[in-house]
Amino acid sequence: MTGRHVLLIRLAAPLQSWGIAGRFAHRDTQSRPTKSGVIGLCAAALGLDREAPLGELSEVRYGVRADRPGVRVRDYQTVGGGTFPLRPRDLVTDHQRAAKATATAPPGVFGRVDLSAWYGSPKYVTTDPASGALVSKEVRRHALITERWYLADAAFLVGLEHADQVLLMRVAHALEHPKRLLWLGRKACPPTGDLALRVVPGTLREAFESHALLPDAAVPQGATGARPWAWIESPRPLPGAGVPDQPVRFDTDGGVHGLRWETRHRITITPHAHGWDIIL
């Protein structure tokens, strides 16, 4: 395929997390970076607003090579257990807490009663449509149990393929000079070292085969002759290979994603593959 170029991006950090359908109590991670997450990373680097159209960013062909797949780790959390004092402003702004307080306080001593015996930390905080104040949907004292999954010590070589080399160069510059903070799936997962590596001519598979594994402290120059797995987006639908992470828009009230297709390949890195001179 002539006239194509690939931007190679390094995604490495102590922790990464790439979810597709996670909810508050259970936040899973995929085994590799999602297209939605990477396009969101690029959009943040470019300084695009969430309501802004993605344009050509959503049209890039996406691929990812798992140089170091990492290890899945679970972060088990309990949130909001125990009792907390009730502030005076809570009685004014949160009608649910005010009703609870007035129902339990003796007559004539409102505001001087220790309400910590019943009041738990706010849970499921939302905006009250009547007052606009932040209120909690629950005032019970039970703790919320959540679990969050991460990939530890992973490193991925991501490729964005497009015919417009100027677009890819602009994205590469933005990743190294971002207009907004960047993270690998979650705010607790900042990237390490260089992100944008280089723009090369060719297709995703050609780029993956002609570049050595990403270096680490054990193998500073990266390895050749290895056969890592890679997932490469297909330009046409395939049976049983749909992935619901094609970004359409990133609205603040919930993004919209479509379906795309990809195939998995065992990549054979050539013996004379290009090496790396990057900051780890």
118 — pLDDT class (breaks 50, 70, 90): very low
Average confidence score pLDDT of the chain: 84
Whether residue 247 lies inside any domain: the answer is yes
Please report whether residue 272 resides in a domain.
no
Spatial distance between the Cα atoms of 268 and 280, rounded to a whole number of angstroms:
24
The single-letter code of the amino acid at 76 is: Y
In this model, does residue 182 exceed pLDDT 90?
Answer: yes
* From 33-42, 98-107, 122-131, the region with the lowest mean pLDDT: 98-107
Distance CA 182, CA 11 (A): 11
pLDDT for the residue 166: 96
For residues 160-187, average pLDDT:
96
* 67 and 186 belong to one structural domain: yes
With a cut of 50, say whether residue 174 has pLDDT above it. yes
Instruction: Judge whether 169 lies within some domain.
Output: yes
pLDDT band at 116 (very low <50, low <70, confident <90, very high): very low
Question: Is the domain of 60 the same as that of 158?
Answer: yes
* pLDDT at residue 150, rounded to an integer: 96
Q: 54 and 91: one domain?
A: no
Asked whether residue 109 is assigned to any structural domain, the reply reads yes
Model pLDDT, residue 10: 98
Calculate the dihedral angle through the C-alpha atoms of 217, 34, 205, 264, rounding to the nearest 10 degrees: 100
What does the block give as tokens for 259?
């379906």
What's the pLDDT at 82? Answer: 59
| Of 129, 11, 101, nearest in space to 65 by CA | 11
The verdict on residue 214 lying in a domain is: yes
As given in the structure block, the two tokens for residue 175 are 């990743």
Same domain, 137 and 159: no
If asked whether residues 104 and 230 sit together in one domain, one would say no
Dihedral angle of Cα 189, 34, 4, 260, to the nearest 10 degrees:
-160
Domain region containing 202: 5-74+153-266
What CATH number is attached to the domain comprising 247?
3.30.70.2660
The reply to whether 273 falls in a domain is: no
Instruction: Report the pLDDT value the prediction gives residue 139, as an integer from 0 to 100.
Output: 60
pLDDT of residue 170: 97
CB 38 within 8 A of CB 7: no
* Alpha helix (H) residue ranges in the chain: 35-46, 88-93, 95-104, 165-176, 204-209
Output the pLDDT for position 214: 93
Measured CA distances, 95 to 116, 185, 206, 224 (Å): 17, 36, 62, 64
Q: What is the mean pLDDT of residues 232-255?
A: 85
Same domain, 113 and 131: yes
- Tell whether the model's pLDDT for residue 93 goes beyond 90: no
Mean pLDDT of the region 263-280: 90
Give Cα 22 to chain centroid, integer Å.
11
In 2-143, beta strands by DSSP E = 5-16, 26-27, 61-68, 71-79, 123-127, 134-138
Q: State the total domains in the chain.
A: 2
Same structural domain, 58 and 163: yes
Q: What's the pLDDT at 263? A: 94
Same domain? 253 vs 215 = yes
| pLDDT recorded at residue 226 | 75
pLDDT of 113: 46
Q: Tell whether 186 and 63 lie within a shared domain.
A: yes
Could you read off the pLDDT of 192-235 as tens digits, one per residue? Answer: 999 999 999 999 999 999 999 998 866 656 555 679 999 999 98
- Say yes or no: 167 and 199 in one domain: yes
Which residue from 150, 151, 279, 152 is spatially nearest to 217, judged by alpha carbons? Answer: 279
For 44, the token pair is 């943040």
The pLDDT score that the predictor gives to residue 62 is: 97
Whether this prediction's pTM lies above 0.85 is answered by no
pLDDT at 119: 52
| Residue 147 counted as domain residue | no
With 0-12 / 13-18 / 19 or more C-beta atoms within 10 angstroms meaning exposed / middle / buried, residue 76 is exposed
Assess whether 67 and 173 both reside in one domain: yes
Spatial contact of 155 and 9, defined as CB atoms under 8 Å apart: no
Residues 238 and 210 both lie in one domain: yes
Domain boundary among 117, 142, 167: 142
Asked if residue 274 belongs to a domain, the reply is no
Q: Scanning the structure block, which residue is given the tokens 């094609």?
A: 246
* Weakest-pLDDT range from 4-13, 138-147, 169-178: 138-147
Instruction: Give residue 36's pLDDT.
Output: 94
